[in-house]
Structure 1
Amino acid sequence: MSEVAITAAGAGDGKNADSIFSPLAVALMLVIGILGFAGSLLLGAYAPDLRSGHNAGAHALSTAATGYAGIVELARATGRNPHIIRAEAGWDDEDLVVATPEHGTVNMSKFLKARRGRPTLIVLPKWDAVADGRTSGWVNVAGLLPAFDPAGVLAPGVVMTVTRHRSGARMLRVVGPGTPSLVTSAPQPLQTVTSPALLPVLTDDAGRIVLGWVNGSSVYVLADPDLLNNHGIRRLDRARAALDLLDYVNANGARGIDFDVTLNGLGRGRSPLKLAFEPPFLAMTLAIVVALALVGWQALVRFGPAQPPTRAIAFGKAALIDNSAMIVRKAGREGGLGTRYAALIRDRARAMFGVPAHLPDDAVDRYLDRLQGATTFTALVADAGSAKHPADMLAAAQALHQWQQEKTR
């Protein structure tokens, strides 16, 4: 009874729900949900790659005063073919690679090992800057970094001492064979290094190294980033000197210049989620999407309306008889039904034909045989008792029923 009540109540609620949520509204919600889920997966997979780098850092994507986006654009405009390295695999290149670590704590060992024997320029950090909260891409300079910070960029392989002093905007000097175009006015304040492992290429008037070459390698160290960053190359003479400096370091005839940003935390990593949207796994992802779409379509256009749950035991005499027959069948007691049905017909005949109550069953059968008919009652009872197969038993029961109908007409 409780199932019937619940089903009836559910039908009423369904009508109200249909009036609130139309099929079009449900379809729109489904489409929006699927698109939103797919979009969140894509953004989660490619979010690291979509970072613009406009975080006011000292790297090649930054347009802040301490960044190097200006020299990248200047190199592109002058045909030097700059590229941004956003994966460690890009270190394996014969072109000049410019690295701009923002602190001396950055681990450079793997980078230096990959760049062994290839032209490399390492620009030391100098300024302690934070992003401007009011203007995107700008920085507020809090001052100079502690001298030990840039001094530790190549430690412990190369021990350096960093000094800062007022340069008076005096001209820098080229040491040994070089090009006079490297000479430009010194920034204010000027950051220099001294190290027994560095050979000077560009110095101040006191001989302190501004651009040095690591002895026995192809690695160059630029002590003062203001000769290359956006703030420094705003002047024409420094912009020309910056390009000449890159050409000098890249003197092996390479056709391009690479600017690394992986050391600044802007590398593009590989993740299992990202692999699902790239070959060769993209084919499997598309196959799964198509399979899910087919499952959804099958659920949408299924055969016929939804059927309400049916009762375990139905109402009515017919259902009661069917359930009783099923119980007898499962119990394996069908073989004894013929004799019992014959006894039922005999009891009915006693009442209908006035058979004396004191007569035993065999005497009753002989009494009923005297009634006119094509078949005797004794033969019908014998057939019912000997029937073992369900078809034979059904035929015997129908014959007894027909005998009773004939005698009561």
Structure 2
Amino acid sequence: MARMSASKSHGMFSPMTMLVLVLVGVVSFSGLAVLSAYAPELRKGDDGGGHALSRSSVGFGAISRLLSLMGQPVLTSRGDLPASAEEALLVLTPSAGMSPVPLERNDHIGPTLVVLPKWEARPDPKHRGWVTTFGDNEGAEALSVLPPKLRKDLKVNEAKDKRTVRLRRPSGEAFGAPVTIKGARTLAGPGWTPVLLDQDGGVVMAMRDDSWTYVLADPDYLNTQGLKTADGARTAVAMLNLIRDDGSPVVFDVTLHGFKRTRSLMRLIVEPPLLGATLVAVALALLAGAQAFARFGPPLRSRRAVALGKTALADNTAGLVRLARREHRMARLYARLIQASAARAIGAPRGLDGQDLVDFLDRVSRTVGATHTYSALADRALTASPSDLMAVARDLHTWKQELIRGRQ
């Protein structure tokens, strides 16, 4: 029974099972980290807000989709604009209660269109992405999204009932198609140049005299409920084409609604140019893990903290020599030790010493065909540096072995 239980416990965690668990954990953690880094960009944004990612009645997802289907260049911006969109038409759709929109952006030199908010809405609990409107805001609240310099002396006028609006240019030329809008709004104030008027002369869209900034009084000309008819869609597209250059893109900014692309260390290491360094680091980690998983040699035996016998004596002596920085002086003494040992091993005459013994050993070295002569090795030992000690000692030992085998 004891033998059976031992065999079962031994097979409970096999090396292959542990390897699979480690791989699954690494892959899962890596996927979670990458998804966390790109989580803001993976959000669809269809939350019913008044922005270009929303498909609700007060959102602007329909006009963005329509322009894309028509083959027009359109971009939903979550951060800095690319170089190709610096001169694009930037469309800002702030919601009521937001801070004044930032009109000065270093990455944008083209026209900017600010669509004033109008409707008070809340999410529909029965349908995700839908909203329920329960009235419109006050004109002063709609103008609060503009910087103080722009909203000074500017007023918003509102019609009471639903009516059909026929737009025209300041020259009197008809523009677009008639659209039906409930509580249509217009602008009035000094310092603004009318761009589009309604049939009563009210300013629907105006441009600031001292900047390339346009303001649209009523969002129902561009939002989803304004595009529910073909005439509304044609008028919306014509309105955007009027204030942008031919071929330039239309950029809908959604950073005002919390969809800004943020900087993070995780995104930095998984995107060029640091992606190559990250892949190299991952490969090195995998190789190190494989090397640690598969043992490539016998395990090291545990040693005593304080060695005993000859080992302790040799270690202490070597430590003292190293501490005194006299390693290079050991080569000459080791050469003399090898000289005496080789002379005894090959049976050299006892009366020889000094230079006579050196000459004798050199003659024997040449006779047996040794790689080196003792005199050459002795000269190397005299001038050896600490980094040359091992090479000199190895050559002296090899020379001694060659002499012994040659004489035998």
Q: Which of the five TM-score ranges fits, normalised by the shorter chain? A: 0.5 to 0.7
Contact 2:170 2:197 in 1 (8 A): no
1:87 aligns with 2:79: yes
Tell whether 2:241 aligns with 1:269: no
Superposed counterparts of 1:154-233, under 5 Å: 154-159=146-151, 160-177=154-171, 179-233=173-227
SS at match of 2:163: coil
Q: Does 1:128 align with 2:120?
A: yes
1:77 aligns with 2:69: yes
Aligned twin of 1:33: 25
* Contact preservation (8 Å) 1:120, 1:249: no
Of 278, 290, 293 in structure 1, the residue corresponding to residue 283 of structure 2 is 290
Cross-structure match for 2:251: 258
Counterpart AA for 2:178:
T
Match for 2:233 among 223, 239, 243?
239
Q: Does 1:62 align with 2:54?
A: yes
Give the C-alpha shift of residue 102 in structure 1.
2.0
Letter in 1 for 2:125: G
In the other structure, the counterpart of 2:328 is none
Question: Cα deviation per residue 1:188-237 (whole Å; 9 max; x = unaligned)?
Answer: 12233322232223334544322122123322111111111111101111
Write the distance in 2 (CA, Å) between the matches of 1:152 and 1:186: 26
Task: Give the residue type in structure 2 aligned to 1:200.
Answer: P
Superposed counterparts of 1:308-319, under 5 Å: none
- State the Cα distance separating 1:265 from its structure 2 match: 2.3
Shift of 1:274: 0.7
Kindly provide the CA deviation profile for residues 50-97 of structure 1, in whole angstroms up to 9, marking residues without a partner as x.
122212211112111111111112112223222222222348622222
| 266 and 181 in structure 1: CA distance in 2 versus 1, 3 angstrom threshold | same
- Offset of 1:283 from its aligned partner? 1.3
CA distance in 2, matches of 1:180, 1:109: 33
Structure 2 residue aligned with 1:46: 38
Q: Which residue type is aligned with residue 276 of structure 1? A: I
In the other structure, the counterpart of 1:370 is none
Pairing 1:327-342 to 2, within 5 Å after superposition: none
CA distance in 2 between partners of 1:178 and 1:29 (Å): 75
Equivalent in the alignment of 1:302 = 295
Measured in 2, the distance between the counterparts of 1:256 and 1:101 equals 20
Which residue in 2 is equivalent to 1:98? 91
Work out the CA distance in 1 between the residues paired with 2:60 and 2:316.
90
1:319-366 deviation line (CA, Å, top 9, x unaligned): xxx95787899999xxxxxxxxxxxxxxxxxxxxxxxxxxxxxxxxxx
Q: Given the superposition, is the C-alpha separation of residues 185 and 326 from structure 1 closer, same or farther in structure 2, using an over 3 Å criterion? A: closer
Larger radius of gyration: 1
Q: Which residue of 2 aligns with 1:281?
A: 274
Q: Which amino acid aligns with 1:185?
A: V
Q: How many residues align?
A: 311
Tell me, in whole angstroms, the C-alpha distance in 1 between the residues paired with 2:266 and 2:96.
Answer: 31
Q: Residue 243 of structure 2 aligns with which residue?
A: 249
Name 2:393's counterpart in structure 1.
none
Distance 1:156 1:224, change over 3 A: same
Tell me the TM-score normalized by structure 1.
0.67
Aligned pair in 2 of structure 1 residues 161, 142: CA closer, same or farther (>3 Å)?
same
State TM-score, norm by structure 2. Answer: 0.67
- CA offset at residue 16 of structure 1? 5.8
Work out the CA distance in 1 between the residues paired with 2:194 and 2:260.
32
Deviation at 1:262, TM superposition (A): 2.3
Cα distance between partner residues in 1 of 2:141 and 2:28: 45
1:11-67 CA-to-partner distances (Å, cap 9, x unmatched) read x99966533223332222111100111012111221122122212211112111111
Specify the code of the residue in structure 2 equivalent to 1:25.
T
Does the C-alpha gap of structure 1 residues 17 and 141 become closer, same or farther in structure 2, counting only changes over 3 Å?
A: farther
Distance 1:221 1:299 in 2: 66
Is the CA contact 2:121–2:133 (under 8 Å) kept in the aligned structure 1? Answer: yes
Cα root mean square deviation, aligned: 3.2
Unaligned runs of 5+ in 1: 1-11, 314-321, 333-409
Report the Cα distance in structure 2 between the residues aligned to 1:96 and 1:27, rounded to whole angstroms. 55
- 1:149 to partner: Cα distance: 2.6
